[in-house]
Amino acid sequence: MDLVRSTIERYVPLKEHEWERVRVCWKELLFPKGEFISRVGDVEHFFYIVRGGVQRLFFEHDGTSICLGFSYDHSWSGDYESFLQQKPGRLNVQAITDTALVGIDHADLIALYDEVPAMDRFGRLILEELLVGRATREIEQIALTAEERYRKLVQRSPHLLQLVPQKDIASYLRMTPETFSRLRAKV
Amino acid sequence: MDLVRSTIERYVPLKEHEWERVRVCWKELLFPKGEFISRVGDVEHFFYIVRGGVQRLFFEHDGTSICLGFSYDHSWSGDYESFLQQKPGRLNVQAITDTALVGIDHADLIALYDEVPAMDRFGRLILEELLVGRATREIEQIALTAEERYRKLVQRSPHLLQLVPQKDIASYLRMTPETFSRLRAKV
DNA sequence: AAAGGCGGTTGATCTGGATCAAGAACGGAT
DNA sequence: ATCCGTTCTTGATCCAGATCAACCGCCTTT
């Protein structure tokens, strides 16, 4: 549970009694490679911190998977959109490698928000991060060509190329696997 | 200032003394049509609630404006990305019509977060809304064709077509003004 | 070790929407 | 009113990247 504490304390300090209250809400969960963590149409009950492994966030469209993002190491995971609204989600989350997550149930988090004020702030701060990340990505999707998006990824997240199948990265970069492969050969 | 109070209280209740503390932080601001509210490269100092008028959020790329969104009536305005990070922004915000905003300075908001716990929650809740909105838009941008995106806008926000120039809507829908015009004639 | 099946490569062809071009219609300023 | 700069429209052409297709690994499964 140290992972949870240190993760939260990267954003807000917790007094000892607050941490005692918070810690009991988190559960360790394991997903073998290939398993689904969340599915389209289901309400996402958990918000996750990633202990280990890589996950992809995607949806199906016209028979192909479209990948919206990856999560790994100390980042967040799950279908936030469904989690936040507690409505059936539009996204799948799948373990690309064997995965260990630490999750908190929505009802527990809501209770924490009421009982531990620091958690409200924690929630605000991670949402700020998520929003800034999305905004950056949106601008890049619009302003860059396929080749520029490829180059940027290689330079920013070279480890991803090792961790996940090329077809997923291709889809994440909004191009076909063929285009991705050609860029690889060329650049 | 009733606008500010009722806007905040759509998310969290405020005790009378909290509201007294909050109210003094907000300033009324007027922008004539065409004026810039925020500019690329500047740090956004304000977070705004829109009292009236329409604004567009955009950036320049290869000599053309790319519109990322509009704000009006009781929605939010400003370059959140820059505001949240207090770093030079990548976006312009411009008044499309005469505009009245109510804004709060970043330093004041940070102080409120510390002094009025309800404000932390308010911040969290509007960020949740913004994030869900972005996610929805992202999926639609990917999964829909130009024509489908046009149809969806017409059905969801017909008023926009009256309020803002077609070229801005076209860019917001990720197409050229020519394509937009042709869809208009056809659909 | 044979047989699928998926992932990746490479080539040929196609296409949605962009770009280029040239008027027409609509303000706003004087 | 009339002039000038936008915005919008309509037509012709173009192109980045998609699609279609064939093949080659490399794992699994049996």
B121-133 tens-digit pLDDT: 999 999 999 999 9
Q: What is the mean pLDDT of residues B100-120?
A: 97
Given a contact cutoff of 8 angstroms between Cβ atoms, the answer to whether A163 and A71 are in contact is no
DSSP E strand stretches across B11-159? 26-31, 36-38, 46-52, 54-61, 64-72, 76-77, 92-95, 99-105
Look at residue B40 in the predicted model and tell me its pLDDT.
Answer: 96
- CA distances (Å), origin B109, targets A182, B34, B155: 49, 28, 36
Interface contact A61, partner B, CB < 8 A: yes
Top residue of A124, A142, A176 to mutate, by most chain B CBs within 10 Å, is A124
Q: Give me the CA A65–C1' C7 separation in Å, rounded.
A: 15
pLDDT over 80 at A187, yes or no: no
- What does the alpha-carbon distance between residue A4 and residue A103 come to, in Å, rounded to a whole number? 9
Number of folded domains in chain B? 1
Is residue A140 a part of any domain in this protein? no
Is residue B177 a part of any domain in this protein? no
- What does the alpha-carbon distance between residue B167 and residue B15 come to, in Å, rounded to a whole number? 45
Q: Which of residues 157-186 of A touch strand C (CB under 7 A)?
A: 165-167, 177-178, 180-182, 184-185
Is residue B103 a part of any domain in this protein? yes
pLDDT over 80 at B187, yes or no: no
Q: Which nucleotides of D are covered by protein (CB under 7 A)?
A: 7-12, 16-21
Pick out the nucleotide with least CA–C1' distance to A148.
D16
Look at residue B17 in the predicted model and tell me its pLDDT.
Answer: 96
Give percent of chain B above pLDDT 90.
95
pLDDT over 90 at A83, yes or no: yes
Bridge partners for A50 per DSSP? A101
Q: Can you tell me whether residue B30 is helix, strand or coil?
A: strand
Is residue A61 a part of any domain in this protein? yes
Give contacts of B127 with chain A, Cβ < 8 Å: 124, 127-128, 131
Strand bridging mode B26-31 / B99-105? antiparallel
Q: Which of residues 32-91 of B touch strand D (CB under 7 A)?
A: none
**How open is the CA angle B85-B122-A26, to the nearest 5 degrees?**
85
Is residue B168 a part of any domain in this protein? no
Q: What is the mean pLDDT of residues A164-186?
A: 96
Is residue A136 a part of any domain in this protein? no
Given a contact cutoff of 8 angstroms between Cβ atoms, the answer to whether B126 and B83 are in contact is no
CATH number at residue B62: 2.60.120.10
Is residue A155 a part of any domain in this protein? no
pLDDT over 80 at B53, yes or no: yes
pLDDT over 80 at B61, yes or no: yes
Residue A1 pLDDT grade (very low, low, confident, very high; cuts 50, 70, 90): confident
Q: What is the mean pLDDT of residues B55-74?
A: 94
Q: Which nucleotides of C are covered by protein (CB under 7 A)?
A: 7-12, 16-21
Residue with tokens 């977060």: B113
In the DSSP assignment, the letter for residue B157 is -
Q: Give the phi and the psi of residue B128 in degrees, each rounded to 5.
A: -60, -45
A104-129 tens-digit pLDDT: 999 999 999 999 999 999 999 999 99
Look at residue A62 in the predicted model and tell me its pLDDT.
Answer: 87
pLDDT over 90 at B92, yes or no: yes
**How open is the CA angle B163-B168-B170, to the nearest 5 degrees?**
110
Residue B60 pLDDT grade (very low, low, confident, very high; cuts 50, 70, 90): very high
Q: What is the mean pLDDT of residues B68-93?
A: 96
Using only C-alpha atoms, chain A has a radius of gyration, in whole angstroms, of 18
- What does the alpha-carbon distance between residue B166 and residue B159 come to, in Å, rounded to a whole number? 12
Interface contact A144, partner B, CB < 8 A: no
Pick from B91, B99, B96: which is nearest to B65 by CA?
A: B91
> What domain range includes position B58?
2-118
Given a contact cutoff of 8 angstroms between Cβ atoms, the answer to whether B157 and B73 are in contact is no
- What does the alpha-carbon distance between residue A116 and residue A21 come to, in Å, rounded to a whole number? 8
A142-157 tens-digit pLDDT: 999 999 999 999 999 9
- What does the alpha-carbon distance between residue A28 and residue A46 come to, in Å, rounded to a whole number? 11
Query: Token digits for B61?
Result: 């790329």
Is residue A168 a part of any domain in this protein? no
Q: Give the phi and the psi of residue A59 in degrees, each rounded to 5.
A: -135, 165
A21-74 tens-digit pLDDT: 999 999 999 999 999 999 999 999 999 999 999 999 999 998 899 999 999 998
pLDDT over 90 at B93, yes or no: yes
Pick from A135, A134, A138, A140: which is nearest to A153 by CA?
A: A140
